[in-house]
Amino acid sequence: MEIKEINSSIDYATLLGSCPLPITNYKEVTLAHGSGGKLTHRLIEQMILPQFKNEFLSPLHDGALLNINNTKLAFSTDSYVVNPIFFPGGNIGELAVNGTVNDLSMCGAKPMYLSAGFIIEEGFAMEDFWRVILSMQNAAKKACVLFVTGDTKVVDRGKGDQIYINTSGIGIIPDDVNIKTANVKAGDKIIINGTIADHGIAIMSVRENLEFETEIRSDTAALNGLVETILNASKDVHMLRDATRGGVTSVMTEIAESAKLGVYLEETKIPIREEVKGACEILGLDPLYVANEGKMIVIVPPGICDTVLQAMQSHPLGKNAAVIGEVVNQHAGMVMMKTAIGGSRVVDMLSGEQLPRIC
């Protein structure tokens, strides 16, 4: 490798001269840019991706697929800024472990090694930090991954919010596994592993001080065991995606756009808890847009649908798995849904900001 230029100081005038700011309607970054919806996509597509274009950078996957000396690796990163940091069913530390484990799993990889980067606000209670660390330890043990490197920064009071955590991870992809959007074909079946919107509503119920008869808990979970079960049932799985920020809708729209095919969902087939449905009505939220932290979309050719569904249902994290729709040739790039009352409507990506700092 030859390093041609060494001087590290950057001539912004030259840089900016040749690369003017892309046209954007926003002079500032807004909360909606972090929603996982349309604005997030536009920000990433206009401001970031074109600048770093390379064969590995795939915005529509949860991680990068690398090939190092003939070993296929997945590499992924996520920062966690959830508020509050402790919530029913989990906390920011557990989320940070499971989230990156899941991103790697969605690449078909066996998650192996994680890094942890802490940004702590001055004044954060040592005991809360301890609870976060212990739950990360516990979550890593459950997911069979190792933390191998880390970093700790402290920012002044009022310049953070207790703690933010970045986790990055490396996983190994078995040779015979090949998960990618390009595999998706018309006729493919769409399966989800369980009820939607639990995580987002658990967070919102704390923020809004809502009480329900049954406590709504986050579904945060490491999905690598379930993915292993699925891939043991069949290696012909076309695509895996976890439905986190932006909910099921964002993921399905991304896949439809990228595959240039249509997605057809049936509302009545999408599993949702009664109390979550009720909470969504109270809060005026569409559960299809609400974040999950332990739910994944599995896209399979019709021939293996029953096999995969049964395998999923045999796993504790997939016992409510259901086929919720299929990939079609019609309305390419769009998601249509047959509603509960029999009509059908377009389900578009979230355009504003719904639930800031949900993960």
Residue type, 273: R
Q: Which part of the chain contacts a copy of itself (CB under 8 A), choosing from 116-124, 269-277, 279-287, 321-329?
A: 116-124
Alpha carbon of 312 to those of 69, 108, 252, 269: distances in Å? 33, 15, 20, 16
Q: Is 28 exposed, middle or buried (0-12, 13-18, 19+ CB in 10 A)?
A: exposed
Residue type, 8: S
List 37, 38, 63, 265, residue binding a copy of itself (CB under 8 A): 63
Residues 232-261 that bind a copy of itself (CB under 8 A): none
Pairing of strands 163-172, 239-242: unpaired
- Smallest distance from the beta carbon of 304 to a copy of itself, in angstroms? 22
CA distance 118 to 163: 7
- Smallest distance from the beta carbon of 22 to a copy of itself, in angstroms? 8
Residue 262 CA from chain centroid, whole number = 21
- Retrieve residue 171's tokens: 């996983």
- Smallest distance from the beta carbon of 296 to a copy of itself, in angstroms? 14
* 200 is an interface residue for a copy of itself by CB under 8 A: no
List 45, 122, 208, 306, residue binding a copy of itself (CB under 8 A): 122
The binding track of 132-161 with respect to a copy of itself, each residue x by CB under 8 A or -, is -xxxxxxxx-xxx-xxxxxxxxxxx-xxxx
- Smallest distance from the beta carbon of 72 to a copy of itself, in angstroms? 10
CA dihedral for 4, 8, 11, 15, sign (positive or negative): positive
Q: Which part of the chain contacts a copy of itself (CB under 8 A), choosing from 89-97, 295-303, 306-314, 338-346?
A: 89-97
Cβ atoms of 195 and 276 within 8 Å: the answer is: yes
- The DSSP call for residue 308 is H
Cβ atoms of 297 and 335 within 8 Å: the answer is: no
CA distance 43 to 265: 28
- Smallest distance from the beta carbon of 226 to a copy of itself, in angstroms? 8
Q: Which part of the chain contacts a copy of itself (CB under 8 A), choosing from 166-174, 186-194, 234-242, 271-279?
A: 166-174
* 314 is an interface residue for a copy of itself by CB under 8 A: no
Nearer to a copy of itself by C-beta: 153 or 269? Answer: 153
* 292 is an interface residue for a copy of itself by CB under 8 A: no
- Smallest distance from the beta carbon of 130 to a copy of itself, in angstroms? 5
- Count of residues in contact with a copy of itself, rule CB under 8 A: 120
Cβ atoms of 193 and 321 within 8 Å: the answer is: yes
Q: Which part of the chain contacts a copy of itself (CB under 8 A), choosing from 66-74, 259-267, 270-278, 331-339?
A: 66-74
* 79 is an interface residue for a copy of itself by CB under 8 A: yes
Listed residue (97, 82, 38) closest to 199, CA to CA = 82
Please provide residue 228's backbone torsions phi and psi, each rounded to the nearest 5 degrees. -60, -45
Q: Which part of the chain contacts a copy of itself (CB under 8 A), choosing from 121-129, 231-239, 249-257, 284-292?
A: 121-129
State the CB neighbour count (10 A cutoff) for residue 215.
11
Nearer to a copy of itself by C-beta: 216 or 265? Answer: 216
List 124, 243, 246, 347, residue binding a copy of itself (CB under 8 A): 124
CA distance 315 to 90: 21
- Retrieve residue 86's tokens: 């402790």
- Smallest distance from the beta carbon of 65 to a copy of itself, in angstroms? 9
